[in-house]
């Protein structure tokens, strides 16, 4: 089958591309480096595509910018899919985002609303944070690394990519079961374990973010429910493999 991947050069999207090609599928990467501007809708041609996986996202914590991005990108993809007769739209979202709808999560909440109201065949996969984000999202301040205080059950980006490909190969599910890792970790705690395994002595600070968004990160709002699908590797296994 032919699978288009929006955000196909990102942390998850690039893995979906690799796994799909290893499985014998034809891939179409939708990114600026391939001549496609998702926000503007330029260069978007989905003729012959069977499924679209949207793993795109803006680098912002602004609710307004996040909403603007996801409204434009999601709407553009859905219109292009309708024109081309694409049979399945798959979106990667975040556990708890729709209930929080603040900061970056405001855009994800809007994305989910646009998809559900589109009338197109769709699946939304909501996952917890990725192991990779602990280091990538840490703010450097001299010898310190700073992360927000939060509760999560993180998982590997590779695991998320594997599940997205499984979904793309099957029929639309609507709301797929949430996907999470086996252990609850704060991102700061996870980063400490990563640095310790590498023999680095950097200090990691955990800072509570203000307002409703910060409170939601801390109070369990982004933890999966009892119906979530749990997949490994564990944090310890992932760190050891690296």
Residue-wise pLDDT for 145-196, tens only, equals 999 999 999 999 999 999 999 999 999 999 999 999 999 989 999 999 999 9
Domains in the chain with CATH codes: 2-241 (3.40.50.720)
Quick one: pLDDT at residue 15? Answer: 98
The helix/strand/coil state of 63 is helix
Quick one: pLDDT at residue 98? Answer: 92
> pTM above the 0.85 mark?
yes
Longest dimension (CA), the chain: 54
Distance CA 147, CA 187 (A): 7
| Nearest residue to 73 via CA among 10, 152, 134 | 10
The helix/strand/coil state of 169 is coil
Quick one: pLDDT at residue 61? Answer: 86
Quick one: pLDDT at residue 142? Answer: 87
Q: What is the DSSP letter of 185?
A: B
Quick one: pLDDT at residue 213? Answer: 87
Report the chain (242 residues): mean pLDDT per 10 consecutive residues. 96 98 98 91 94 95 95 97 97 95 94 97 98 92 92 97 98 98 94 93 91 90 95 96 88
CB 66 within 8 Å of CB 107? yes
Count the alpha carbons within 13 Å of 58 in the hemisphere toward its beta carbon: 25
Distance CA 101, CA 234 (A): 29
Which residues, 6 or more positions from 226, have their beta carbon under 8 angstroms from its beta carbon? Answer: none
Quick one: pLDDT at residue 212? Answer: 86
- By the 10 Å C-beta count (0-12 exposed, 13-18 middle, 19+ buried), 79 is classed as middle
Give the DSSP letter string of 65-115: HHHHHHHHHHHHHHHHHHHHT--EEEEEEETTHHHH--THHHHHHHHHHHH
């Amino acid at each position: 089958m032919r699978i288009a991947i929006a955000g196909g050069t990102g942390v998850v999207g690039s893995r979906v591309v690799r796994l799909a090609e290893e499985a014998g599928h034809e891939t179409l990467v939708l990114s600026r480096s391939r001549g496609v501007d998702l926000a503007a809708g330029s260069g978007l041609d989905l003729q012959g595509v069977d499924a679209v996986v949207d793993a795109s996202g803006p680098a912002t914590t602004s609710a307004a910018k996040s909403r603007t991005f996801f409204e434009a990108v999601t709407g553009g993809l859905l219109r292009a899919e309708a024109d081309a007769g694409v049979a399945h739209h798959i979106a990667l979202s975040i556990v708890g985002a729709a209930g929080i709808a603040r900061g970056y999560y405001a855009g994800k909440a809007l994305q989910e609303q646009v998809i559900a109201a589109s009338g197109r065949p769709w699946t939304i996969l909501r996952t917890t944070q990725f192991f990779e984000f602990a280091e990538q999202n840490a703010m450097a301040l001299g010898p310190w690394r700073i992360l927000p205080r939060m509760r999560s059950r993180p998982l590997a980006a590779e695991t998320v990519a594997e599940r997205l490909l499984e979904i793309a190969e099957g029929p639309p599910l609507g709301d797929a079961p949430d996907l999470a890792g086996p252990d609850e970790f704060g991102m700061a705690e996870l980063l400490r374990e990563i640095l310790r395994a590498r023999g680095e002595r950097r200090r990691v600070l955990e800072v509570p973010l203000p307002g409703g968004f910060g409170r939601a990160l801390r109070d369990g709002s982004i933890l999966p429910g009892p119906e979530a699908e749990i997949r490994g590797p564990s944090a310890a296994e992932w760190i050891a493999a690296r």
